[in-house]
């Protein structure tokens, strides 16, 4: 089942929306903030190194309570991971 926020319109292409929603759900769970209070500020294609080689996916930046948080989404596996946040 895909996560969703009622009435949310994401400013990203349709194929990327599931990954952004997963990142938002993870950040909401980690921060205790309502998912509806989080906002994607940047989503772009990227590559990164892994133990198995290079992975291709998305870099997702979310804004929560005035703080940016960065996620990576592997479009092949559907996995989303928090990469970091900045104060």
Question: What's the CA dihedral at 56, 11, 29, 71 to 10 degrees?
Answer: 30
Looking at residue 12, what is its pLDDT? 81
pTM for this predicted structure: 0.81
Segment 49-61, tens digit of pLDDT = 888 888 889 999 9
Q: Where are the domains of the chain?
A: 37-87
pLDDT at 58: 95
pLDDT score, position 86:
59
Cβ neighbours of residue 32 under 8 Å, at least 6 residues apart?
none
Q: Taking residues 34-47, report their average pLDDT.
A: 92
Rounded Cα gap, residues 57 and 20, in angstroms: 12
Residue 28 has pLDDT above 70, yes or no: yes
Q: For residue 6, give Cα distances in angstroms to 18, 21, 35, 84.
A: 14, 12, 10, 27
Q: Which of 9-18, 21-30, 40-49, 64-73 has the lowest mean pLDDT?
A: 9-18
Q: Considering only CA atoms, give the Rg of the chain.
A: 12
């Amino acid at each position: 089942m895909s996560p969703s926020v009622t009435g949310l319109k994401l400013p990203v292409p349709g194929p990327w929306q599931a990954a952004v929603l997963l990142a938002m759900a993870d950040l909401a769970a980690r921060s205790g903030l309502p998912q509806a209070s989080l906002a994607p500020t940047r989503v772009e294609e990227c590559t990164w190194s892994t133990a198995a080689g290079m992975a291709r996916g998305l870099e997702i930046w979310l804004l929560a309570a005035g703080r940016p948080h960065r996620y990576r989404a592997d479009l092949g596996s559907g996995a989303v991971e928090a990469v970091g946040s900045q104060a």
